[in-house]
Amino acid sequence: MNYHDLSKKELESLHASLSEQFERIKSERLSLDLTRGKPGADQLDLSNDLDGILNGFYLLQDGTDVRNYGGILGIPEAREFGAELLGSTPDEVMVGGNSSLTLMYLFLRMMMELWQSAEQQPRFLCPVPGYDRHFAICEEFGIDMVTVPMTDTGPDMDIVERLVHEDTSIKGIWCVPRYSNPTGCTYSDEVVDRMSRLPQHAGDDFVIMWDNAYIAHHLAETPDPLKSIMACCRETDTTKNLVILASTSKITFAGAGISFLATAREQLAQFEKYLGIAMIGFDKVNQLRHLRFLEDQAGLAAHMEKHRQILAPKFKSVLSILETELGGTGIARWTKPNGGYFVSLDTMPGLASNVIGMAADAGVKLTPAGATFPYGRDPENSNIRIAPTYPPVEQLNKAMSVLVLCIQLCSAAQLTKA
Ligand SMILES: Cc1ncc(COP(=O)(O)O)c(C=O)c1O
């Protein structure tokens, strides 16, 4: 049933019956949460063997005692693992603490000193919808954010290239190239190619923040292919403008994983020096534990398959509820990701905040409207980020049934008024 084909009378009677359903659900006094893009306890349990895995052996092959100070760049075994994961070489990789976000923050903090010395107000390209914490870093540093629409194959590169050509104050771009947060899209080969050429126009101090947070987080049996940007940047001689990031936050323990950063050697040396003022080294015991646990890329893939077994049914359930309740109605569209942690849904323009408010009244917490846009402002007020990973399936299904009801109700109300 397409809502747009209904007469005013039909819409009014639909609205009345949806309102009754809503009042019934409200009386259930639910308390459910669809905001948390974090692993469920069953996923964390997959990595419990990290605990105690070293069994008293703290020495590396070269004799380094990982319990002691030192080594900001990380232990060699972990740098090698990171290099294979990110498509780089060990001497271009740093292995950090439990948060890649911290590495992003600190790297940009270092770049700010350079940009500020050029006395230009830096601007950043932000594909939208995107990751709120990227935007928060820019806001914190006073970097102006310029939005670029996302397509199914990555940011709209015609717009990206035009902006970079026109505006020399644009100093970088945020990218989540595989299973993007929140749309789930993976960048096409063409987008990766064009991205790697951007610094040729933008200048030496331009930085591509390639946040590959969902690099190994597949939901489909066949992963989305992603071209190696490091290889492309080698060809265009732009590796110094590239910063690749990833972490094991959603592989092992979200609060106790390890992170990776890859860039050209000279940039890495500068970053090492910069960090050296604030620290003597990251947690090398945890790096060694991770290497013993994951071992290599095959070990990682086998481990991620266990996550997939847990997560794929949750995403399937979410998509099936969306299709059953909203398919063909013309009042919402949503993504069907092959990996990552989110489903991105768009209501009719102007309705997202009402839907989210109404769901809250019925005891279902959703990510605030606008969170996926810089400054928290979604110009269409239509995007809602759904995070299916954390709640158990029954709670997830219940929360989804409330969400779709709120979308139906708000849409019927809006169309009745039109
Ligand atoms: C795109 C993206 N980058 C980074 C992070 C956080 O990474 P970390 O836990 O390594 O700081 C997240 C977490 O949701 C994310 O979605």
Q: How far is the CA of 148 from the centre of ligand 1 (A)?
A: 20
| Residue in this structure with the two tokens 């949460």, named with its chain if needed | 33
- Say what percent of the chain tops pLDDT 90: 97
Per-residue pLDDT band at 356 (split at 50, 70, 90): very high
CA proximity to 310, closest of 34, 35, 45: 45
Please tell me the predicted confidence (pLDDT) of residue 2. 97
Residue 55 Cα to ligand 1 middle (Å): 30
Measured in angstroms, how far is the CA atom of residue 153 from the centroid of ligand 1? 21
Say whether pTM exceeds 0.95.
yes
Of 40, 26, 19, the closest CA to residue 310 belongs to: 40
Where do the H-state alpha helices sit in 256-351?
A: 265-276, 284-294, 297-326
pLDDT tens across 10-61, in order? Answer: 999 999 999 999 999 999 999 999 988 999 999 999 999 999 999 999 999 9
Q: How confident is the model at residue 105 (pLDDT cuts 50, 70, 90)?
A: very high
Distance CA 17, CA 15 (A): 6
pLDDT digits 0-9 by tens, 289-307 = 999 999 999 999 999 999 9
Per residue in 195-221, pLDDT (tens digit) is 999 999 998 999 999 999 999 999 999
Q: Nearest residue CA, atom 12 of ligand 1?
A: 213
Whether 120 has a pLDDT exceeding 90, the answer reads no
Amino acid at 112: M
What is the number of the ligand 1 atom nearest to the C-alpha of 102?
11
117 has pLDDT over 90 = no
DSSP letter at 251? T
Average pLDDT score, the chain: 97
Q: How far is the CA of 251 from the CAs of 77, 176, 307, in angstroms?
A: 18, 17, 8
What local confidence, expressed as pLDDT, does residue 94 receive? 98
Contact 151, 185 (CB under 8 A): yes
Pocket test for ligand 1, best of 108, 131, 187, 343 (most atoms within 8 A of CB): 131
Per-residue model confidence (pLDDT) at position 118: 79
Domains and CATH numbers, the chain: 3-43+304-417 (3.90.1150.10), 57-300 (3.40.640.10)
pLDDT, position 25: 96
417 CA → ligand 1 middle, Å: 41
What pLDDT is stored for residue 418 in this prediction? 84
**Interatomic CA distance for residues 336 and 374, integer angstroms:** 24
Pocket test for ligand 1, best of 211, 212, 290, 386 (most atoms within 8 A of CB): 211
> What pLDDT, on the 0 to 100 scale, is given for residue 119?
75
Mutate to test the pocket of ligand 1, among 102, 249, 252, 258 (most ligand atoms within 8 A of CB): 249
Tell me, what's the pLDDT at 282?
98
Residue 100's CB is within 10 A of a number of other CB atoms, namely 23
Average pLDDT of span 156-182? 97
Burial of 309 (0-12, 13-18, 19+ CB in 10 A): exposed
* Cα gap 18→40, rounded to integer Å: 32
Question: Residues 50-98: pLDDT tens digits?
Answer: 999 999 999 999 999 999 999 999 999 999 999 999 999 999 999 999 9
What mean pLDDT is predicted for residues 312-331?
98
